[in-house]
Chain A
Amino acid sequence: MKLRKLAVTASLAAIGLSAALTAPATYAAEEQFFPVLAYRTGAYAPNGAPWANGYVDYLKLTNARGGVNGVKIIFEECETGYATDRGVECYERLKGKHGGATVVQPLSTGITFALTEKAPVDKIPLVTAGYGRSESQDGSVFGWNFPLIGTYWMGADVLIQHIAKKEGGFDKLKGKKIALVYHDSPYGKEPIALLQERAKMHGYELSLLPVAHPGVEQKATWLQIRQNKPDYVFLWGWGVMNSTSLKEAQATGYPREKMYGIWWAGAEPDVKDVGDGAKGYNALAMQHGAEQGSKVVKEVLEKVHAKGQGTGPKEEVGQVLYMRGLISAMLSVEGVRAAQARFGKGKRITGEQMRWGLENINLDQKTLDAMGFGGVMRPVQTSCLDHMGSAWARLHTWDGKKWNFSSDWYQGDEKVLRPLVISTAGKYADEKKIVRRTADDCKK
C-alpha cells in the first residue's frame, strides 16, 4: 500500500515537473527580447566576436540606464558560425522565445538573404546595419529589412567618389583599371551591380576577382593583379581573407595605398597581424572608426565593465567592430523607443510595432550627443520608404599601429543609388508578387 502511494506521488510529481518544463515560458510584460545571432567560433570568429561583444554590452548598458522607459532588454545568444543553415536554425529556435523576438540582426548577408522571406511571415524586423541586400533600402518592397546607415551599394559609391576626387574628377576615371577582390559569397557579390553601373558612367575598367571561402589561398588572385596592374584594388573580404589579401599584396609588391576596403575589411583584426605590411591601406569607416575616447565607450566601461559585467576583453572596448556592434544595438534600442512613443511608453512592443519604430527613427545631432555618440556618427532619419536612414561614410587609413581618419565625409549619391534600388527592388517585387506598400500602409 505504502509502495503504491509512493508510486502515485512520484508519478504526480513527474507529471507536474514535466508540465512545468513544457509549459510555454512566461515572460514579464516589461521585458523586450533580443535574439543575438553571433559567431564566436570558426573561421570568422576574430571578426564576429568583437561585434557581438559591442552588441551585447550596449544591451547591458541600456538595462543599466534603466531600460527603455523602464522596459528591460533580455537577450539570448546563438552561435551561427557565419553559416547560413545554422543562422536560419538559430532564428527558428529563438523567434518565439520570451513572448517573441523584437528584432533580429543576423550579421551575415547570406543569412539575411535566407531570412528575407521569413521575416514578413513572422513579422519580425531584420536590422542589417552595413550589410544585407542593398535594394532592401526600399521599404515599400522590403517591408521588414532595415539596412540602417549603410548598404554595399552606398559603400561602393563612396569609394568611387573618393578615388574620383583623388584623380581630379569623375572624367579622370576613364581608362582607369579597378579590380574588385571579393569574398565569393552573396556578401562579396553585392557591390558588383553598383560598380558596373558606375563603370558605364565613367568608363573605367572593372575586373572581378572572386576568392573562395575562407580566403586563405589568394596567390593566383594576386598574380593576376600583378599582371593586370590595376590602378586601384577594392577589397570586399571578411575575416582571415582581409589579412591574407594584405599579406599577398605585400608579397607581390602591390602598393597598399592603392587598396580600399569596405567597412568589413577595415578593423583591427584585419591589419594587426600584418602590422607595418598594411601601412597605408585604406578602408571605409561606416561613419565611426575606433572610438575609445567617445562618451558612450566611457559609459560602457563605467557601468558595465567596471561592474564585472563586460562581455569581452576590456581593452577591445571601442575598437572598430566593437563599435559596429554597439551602434547596431543602439539603432534597434532606438527603434523600440520610437515605437513606445507611439504605442505606449514603458510598454512591451510587438514585432509590427517595432517595424513602425524602425521606420520612424529620428536621431538628430543633439540626441546623439546626449547619448554619447557625438563625433562617432551623424544623424539618422528613417522613413517607410527609406530603410537606410543615412548615407554618410568616410575613410580611415592604417598607420601600422592604429586607424586614423583620412578623408572628409562623403554621402552616397542618390542620383545613382536610388534608380538602382528602385529598379532592383521592383524586379524582386515582380518575381515574388509583392504589392508595394502605400502611404496608408506606412501609417499602420
Chain B
Amino acid sequence: MAFFLETLLGGLMSGMLYSLVALGFVLIFKASGVFNFAQGAMVLFAALAMARFSEWIPGWLGMDNLFLANVLAFAVAVVVMFVVAWLIERLALRYLVNQEGATLLMATLGIAYVLDGVGQTIFGSDIYKIDVGMPKEPVMMLESVFEGGILINKEDFIAALIAALLVISLSIFFQKTATGRALRAVADDHQAAQSIGIPLDRIWVIVWCVAGITALVAGIIWGSKLGVQFSLSTIALRALPVVILGGLTSVPGAIIGGLIIGVGEKLSEVYLGPYVGGGIEIWFAYMLALVFLLFRPQGLFGEKIIDRV
C-alpha cells in the first residue's frame, strides 16, 4: 500500500510539472487560437537565459550573493522573454492575422527551430546549472502508519506548489481582468475583436509575454531538476497528451490533464511495465490521449465546437 501511495504521489507531482508546460500551450491557444509548437523551445530558451545570467551576473558585478544573483538573473530573463515575444509578434505573427490554424502552427514550428538554434548559439549547448536552493534530499512521511514510511521528493513537492500558484494567478487573470477578457475575445474571432477596438498586435505581444514567463517558471523548475540542456525542449512533447486530455482552451483542464497523465504513466510503468518489457510510460501517455481523442476530441474541459451548416 505504501508503495502504491508513493507511486501515486510521485505521479501527481510529475503531473503538476507537466501541467506547467501544458499551461503555455493553453494560454496561447486560448488567447490567439494558435497551437504554439514553440513552447518547448521557449522553455529551453528561458532556462538557458536564467542559467547563464545567474552565472555571468556575479562576475560582471563582482558579488557573491547567490540569492541576489538569481533575482537579477530572473529579472533579466523576464526582459529577454519580453523581447522574444515582441520579436515573434513583429517578425512572424503580424503577417499571419486571419490565416488558417495550420499556417500559424507551421509558423510556430519555424519559431521553435529558430529559438533552439539561437538560444544555443548565444548561451551555449553544454549542461548548465540553475541553483535556486531547491532541496534535493527526500523526506519520509507517515512512518508510524506504514513500515518504512512514504518517501516524498521535496523538490517535486515545492515545484508542484509553485505550479498550483501560477495556475490560480492565471485563472484570475483570464476571468477577472479586462485584458484577460480581451485575450479571450481575440481567441474567439480575430476580426470581430478588431472591429470592437481590441488592438490585436498588442494583445498578441501580451499573451506571448505571459507564455514566456510561464516558460521561464517551467524552465527554472525543470532546469533545477534536470540541468539546463537541449532535452528541456523535448519536455513539451510530454505536455502534448496533457493538453489533448485536458482540452486546449481550459486552464484547469491543463492541471487535471497533467495529473491524470502523471499518475497514469507512473502506475502503468510500475504495474504494467514489467509484463511488457518496461519503458512504456511515454507511449502510455499518448495511448491515453488517443483514447480521449476518439471519444471526446475536445478533451475533458475543452469547448465543444459546433458548426452550423
Query: Could you tell me which A residues sit within 8 Å of B by CB distance?
Result: 40-43, 45-46, 49, 184, 208-212, 214-217, 219-221, 223-224, 226-227, 239-240, 243-244, 247, 250-253, 269, 272-273, 277
Contacts and interface: CB of A to CB of B under 8 A. Distances in A.
Interface string B244-282: 000000000000000000000110011001000111011
A273 B151 CA distance: 24
Interface stretch (B19-27, B31-39, B228-236): B228-236
Contact of A216 (B11, B137, B226): B226
Contacts of A250: 136-137
Query: Which of A46, A211, A252, A253 is packed against the most chain B CB atoms within 10 Å?
Result: A46
B230 A212 contact: no
Interface residues of B, number: 38
B210 to A, nearest CB: 25
Given A214-B234, A219-B10, A273-B129, A251 B282 contact: no
Contact of B7 (A40, A223, A240): A223
A41 B230 contact: yes
A251 B278 contact: no
A240 B127 contact: yes
A217 B15 CA distance: 12
B127 A211 contact: no
B138 interface: yes
Contacts of A273: 127-129, 227
A223 B279 CA distance: 13
Contacts of A215: 231
B296 interface: no
Contacts of B120: 41
B7 A46 contact: no
A240 B136 contact: no
Contact of A208 (B11, B127, B238, B278): B278
Given A210-B278, A253-B151, A273-B128, 8 more contacts: A216-B234, A219-B11, A223-B6, A226-B151, A240-B231, A243-B127, A250-B136, A269-B126
A219 B127 CA distance: 21
B281 A220 contact: yes
B18 to A, nearest CB: 10
Contacts of B125: 40-41, 45-46, 49
B14 interface: yes
B270 A46 contact: no
B138 A251 contact: yes
Given A210-B277, A240-B227, A252-B138, A220 B234 contact: no
Given A43-B229, A220-B266, A220-B270, A212 B279 contact: yes
A42 B266 CA distance: 26
Interface in B57-83: none
A223 B274 CA distance: 13
A240 B235 CA distance: 13
28 contacts: A43-B230, A43-B231, A46-B126, A210-B277, A210-B279, A212-B279, A212-B281, A214-B231, A215-B231, A219-B10, A219-B14, A220-B10, A220-B266, A220-B281, A223-B266, A227-B3, A227-B270, A240-B229, A240-B231, A247-B225, A251-B138, A251-B156, A252-B138, A252-B151, A253-B137, A269-B126, A273-B128, A277-B136
Nearest to A243: B227
Contacts, number: 104
B270 A251 contact: no
Contacts of B126: 45-46, 49, 269
A217 B222 CA distance: 11
B22 to A, nearest CB: 15
Contacts of A209: 278
A225 B137 CA distance: 16
A36 to B, nearest CB: 17
Given A214-B234, A217-B281, A247 B226 contact: yes
A43 to B, nearest CB: 5
A227 B269 CA distance: 13
Contacts of A277: 136
B269 A253 contact: no
Contact of B155 (A42, A210, A224, A251): A251
B153 interface: yes
A10 B7 CA distance: 74
A45 B230 contact: yes
B269 A221 contact: yes
Contacts of A46: 125-127, 229
A223 to B, nearest CB: 5
Contacts of A45: 125-126, 229-230
Nearest to B131: A275
Contact of B127 (A42, A210, A272): A272
Given A41-B125, A43-B231, A277-B136, A217 B238 contact: yes
Contacts of A211: 279
Contacts of A208: 277-278
A273 B47 CA distance: 15
Contact of B270 (A40, A217, A224, A239): A224
Nearest to A81: B230
Given A45-B125, A269-B126, A223 B10 contact: yes
A277 B225 CA distance: 12
Contacts of B153: 251-252
A221 B268 CA distance: 11
Contacts of B7: 220, 223
Interface string B1-14: 00100110011001
B213 to A, nearest CB: 23
Contacts of A43: 229-231, 234
B222 to A, nearest CB: 8
B10 to A, nearest CB: 5
B181 to A, nearest CB: 37
Contacts of B266: 219-220, 223
Contacts of A214: 231, 234
B80 to A, nearest CB: 21
B129 to A, nearest CB: 5
A216 B231 contact: yes
The 9 residue pairs across chains A and B that have the minimum distance between CB atoms: A220-B269, A210-B279, A273-B227, A184-B279, A43-B231, A45-B125, A240-B231, A210-B278, A214-B231
Contacts of B11: 219
